[in-house]
Every structure is written in C-alpha cells, then in structure tokens.
Amino acid sequence: MNLNDWIGRSEEVTDRFTATPYAALSATLDRPALRPADGTPLPPLWHWLYFLPLHRQSEIGADGHAKRGGFLPPVPLPRRMWAGSQFEFHQPLRIGDTVTRTSTIQDVTEKSGRSGPLVFVKVRHELRRSGENEVALTEFHDIVYREAARPDDVPPPPKAAYPDPVWRTKWVPDDVLLFRYSALTFNGHRIHYDRRYVTEVEGYPGLIVHGPLIATLLLDLLRHRMPEAEVAKFEFRALRPTFDINHFFVNGTPGADGKTIHLWGEDHEGWLTMDATAVLK
C-alpha cells in the first residue's frame, strides 16, 4: 500500500449555513443563544459546524472515527490527532448561505519521531458560496497519526507559555462542554467523551479538549476584545494536549503593527498547549 496514492484525491460536500448550530455553539461558549437572521456573518472557524462527517454507524472504527480508507488514506497507526491548521478568509460567509466545500489531499508524509513512526496528512479545503466561482475561505488541515502509547514513552519536553498576555480568559472544561462540542461537530472520536477508553486504551490521564475548540476559543477571545476586527488569516499549531481534569487559559497580545495578534493556549501548570497567529484585514 502506497499512501502517496491518496495525494490529489478530492471530494465535495454542499451544506446550508442554518441558524441553529450557530445558536447552539453560542450557548456552549456561554453566550446568548439567539438564532441569528439570514445574512448574519459567521464568526471565524464556525464553518466547522457544517459539512459534518455523516458516516453510517457500521462504518465507525473502534476509536469512534470512521474506519480507515475512503477519502483519507488508510494510515495503519491507531492514534489520530489534529496537529494544526492555516486559514485565509477571502469573503464573509453568512447564515443562510449555501456553500460547497471542495477537499483535496494535498500531501502525505511519513516520518520517524521519538515515539516511533508518524504520518502527516495535509488536506486543503476550499469553500465557495452557491453560484460563485471565487473562493470564500481556504483552509489547510494538518492531521498526524502515531503509534499507540507505550509504558516507556517519554513525552517531549514542554515549553513555557508566553508571559504577560494583554488578554486572558480562564476555562474550566468538563464532560458536558466536551460532549456538546463533539455533538455540534458530529465528532465521534472517543478521546473527547469516553473516559474509560481515553485512559485505558489510549493512555491519557483524562478526556482531551478538542484542538478545534481551543482554536475557536482563541478567536472568540479576539472577537470579543476587538468586536469590529475582521480576520484575514489565522493559523495554529497544537503543541500539547489539554485535559478536562484541570482548567486552562486562552491568551492574546496585539502586535505593535495593530494587525497581527498573537494568541495561545496555556494549561494549569503554565505550559504552552497551542500557538496561534491572527492577521487582521
């Protein structure tokens, strides 16, 4: 099996940006749960509420993800994580829009790390409104696959979070928050809601807070500190898992140029968990 054979494969999904997922995520983030009118701009990253992966129950694997193969390559490694993403926001997407997402396997790279073999898959998503040829949003999604945890595994050394953020919000995750976000994104990955599975099978100390949820909270922090700002570009890298057994922070510091915003996640011990940059229009 040559995983590079999957490079260039593509698929299309069309969805209508309805009001209820918007209101449901607002409620999950402890915001007023009002169903927005058609024409309301979608906050950055909230497109993840749409184009949901509607796999049949018989197609689900032991980890809660779809079984390997199909659009994504059948990587023979059991642990799958969202490593990071890069975005360019070209045009606003709004409630009521009908949007087509074209997804293409951009690259597949096999490497060897301190924990064993790794496979990195990069997927390019392009979102277009119905009847328009111009791309409204470009997204690159980085996925990493790795071997199962072993008792003698040595985790990579943590990196201290950046000091003295200008903005800082504390979040206390729990089972309900993680379940609600999993449900909103139709994410069946058991590491986010099945405590026995995540601790006994994958070897983590607690439920893992979704990387996309933390990224959404970073831009939510920016959106509420600078409500008139429009994001042109955003990128993030997940550096360290965040678990539901402790609180965590989302932080931000505007740059001197007035357009670049440094955003990052920080765990309860002060370690850097996610590093991100937003560039404003």
**pLDDT, tens only, 14-33:** 999 999 999 999 999 999 98
> How high does pLDDT run on average in the chain?
94
Distance CA 61, CA 66 (A): 5
50 exposure class (CB count in 10 Å sphere: 0-12, 13-18, 19+): buried
Confidence label for 50 from pLDDT (cuts 50, 70 and 90): very high
| 37 and 28 Cβ atoms separated by less than 8 Å | no
Task: For residue range 168-205, list pLDDT tens digits in order.
Answer: 999 999 999 999 999 999 999 999 999 999 999 888 99
Q: Which percentage of the chain shows pLDDT scores above 90?
A: 79
Task: For residue range 195-224, list pLDDT tens digits in order.
Answer: 999 999 888 999 999 999 999 999 999 999
On the question of pLDDT at 115 being above 80, the answer is no
pLDDT, residue 171, reads 98
Which residue has better confidence, 127 or 64?
127
pLDDT, residue 47, reads 98
On the question of pLDDT at 274 being above 80, the answer is yes
On the CB side of 178, how many CA atoms lie within 13 Å of its CA?
22
Task: For residue range 222-260, list pLDDT tens digits in order.
Answer: 999 999 999 999 999 999 999 999 999 999 999 999 999
pLDDT, residue 2, reads 87
Distance CA 234, CA 59 (A): 33
Confidence label for 163 from pLDDT (cuts 50, 70 and 90): very high
On the question of pLDDT at 154 being above 80, the answer is no
Which residue has better confidence, 269 or 70?
269
Which residue has better confidence, 266 or 68?
266
On the question of pLDDT at 149 being above 80, the answer is no
Distance CA 97, CA 16 (A): 6
| 73 and 21 Cβ atoms separated by less than 8 Å | no
Between 26-35, 65-74, 97-106, 235-244, the lowest mean confidence (pLDDT) is in: 65-74
3 state DSSP class of 238 = strand
| 278 and 234 Cβ atoms separated by less than 8 Å | yes
On the question of pLDDT at 116 being above 90, the answer is no
